[in-house]
Amino acid sequence: MARRELKQDPVLDTTAWLRGLPKAELHLHLEGTVKPETLVELSRRHEASPLTLEDARGLYRYENFLGFLTAFKAVTERLKTPEDYELITYNMIRELAGQGVVHAEVYVSFGIIFYWKKTDVEPYVEAIERGRERGEKDFGTTVLWIVDAVRHFGVEEGARVFRKAAELRKRYPSIVGIGIGGDEARGPADQFRDLYKEARDAGLRLTAHAGESVGPESIWSAINIGAERIGHALAAQHDPELLEILAQKQIPLEINVTSNIKTGCCKAFDEHPVKDYFESGLMVTLNSDDPPMFGSDLLGEYCLAESCYGFTLEQMRELAANAVEASFLDPTRKLALLQKVEQYVGPMPA
């Protein structure tokens, strides 16, 4: 593919350049994309004395992991009706498009709906599909869904979630894959081996959060049950043999730098292995996880990679291409997006 030369311009506005770079987001939780403004709107729908914008912003300013969980709970508690899910889907796509994100693969937690809300997921899927279709039409960013089970709710809950995903996939082809999130220590990936095989046989793609809060063994397990992409993979840095396998097999890593710092899984920005991974030839992609809750977004993560880790703009282009390559898009759209990334020169003059 012909690649345009990137001119080194001393007055280049890096943020504008990175905003214009066609980016794909592969690790984003629908429930984690709700901004304070939308939380206020949800609160107005459901509460006699709704949250003010100041209250909502306050919830997103926290000091520790418990504060993050409180914020996440404040959101999920107020996601009550299918219409709420339609609203957050549409708003998410608007936000993504504003950052120059052309495609996103978004985790939606059937686990939360089944387990906490104890209700059928189908009306919720219809609703996020309405939001997706409207959002794609208005803003141009495409979205595929990855149905996420909460691993520490157990294998039986996982089976319900994945079988529902397989069933709904027949009607909604935008449901493209499955994953496991939640507490790695209480829900080892090995337990999900048979379910992953079953999901694969049903045509679903496989991902897993692994090596975020526990050691490299969790990543080994995820690979061994067939995960095609690894969410976080922070702990791989402690296992040279694993790093070799990840490089050799080019298993895409969904890296979430700011998330790892804010949850305390990584102590400091200069201790994060993102640049080492990249330089060791691993298939690195940048992602934002639960952006407003971590005070970041995908554009912010790209800016951080440039300013904090010294990625050059050509390397940023490579990261963007990696994300498209690692996506579950069909080959035609993948190729079209890869061409856009390769030929990108910079933002249009205002």
**CB 234 to Zn ion: min, Å:** 12
Query: Residues 109-148 vs Zn ion: string with x where CB under 5 A?
Result: ----------------------------------------
Task: Judge contact between 171 and 190, C-beta under 8 A.
Answer: no
Q: Name the residue nearer to Zn ion (CB basis): 289 or 306.
A: 289
How many other CB atoms are there within 10 angstroms of residue 290's CB atom? 25
- Count of residues in contact with Zn ion, rule CB under 5 A: 1
Binding mask 78-107 for Zn ion (x = CB under 5 A): ------------------------------
Nearer to Zn ion, 105 or 289 (CB): 289
Taken in order 152, 68, 263, 91, the sign of the CA dihedral is: positive
Helix residue spans in 108-149 (DSSP H) = 110-115, 122-139
List binders of Zn ion among 260-319 (CB under 5 A): 289
Please report how close the Cβ of residue 163 comes to Zn ion at its closest, in angstroms: 22
In this complex, which beta carbon is closest to Zn ion, that of residue 71 or of residue 341? 71
Q: How far is the CB of 290 from Zn ion (least distance, A)?
A: 7
Q: Which is nearer to Zn ion, 95 or 289 (CB)?
A: 289
Identified catalytic residue from 41, 86, 105, 212: 212
> Position of tokens 């498209």?
324
Residue closer to Zn ion by CB (options 82, 211) is 211
Closest to 210 measured CA to CA, from 191, 178, 176, 183: 183
Q: Which residue is nearest to Zn ion (CB)?
A: 289
Measured CA to CA, the distance from residue 156 to residue 159 in angstroms comes to: 5
Residue 170 CA to residue 167 CA, distance in Å, equals: 6
Q: Are 159 and 195 in contact (CB under 8 A)?
A: yes
Given 3-state DSSP classes, what are the helix, strand and coil percentages for the chain, each rounded to the nearest 5?
55, 15, 30
- 54 is a catalytic site residue: no
Residue 110 near residue 72, CB atoms below 8 Å: no
Residue 2, Cα to own-chain centre: how many angstroms? Answer: 30
Task: Please report how close the Cβ of residue 272 comes to Zn ion at its closest, in angstroms.
Answer: 16
Find the shortest distance in angstroms from Cβ 214 to Zn ion. Answer: 14
Helices (H), 250-297: 257-262, 274-279, 291-294
Q: Do residues 162 and 195 touch, judged by C-beta distance below 8 A?
A: yes
Contacts with Zn ion by CB under 5 A lie at 289
Name the residues annotated as catalytic: 212
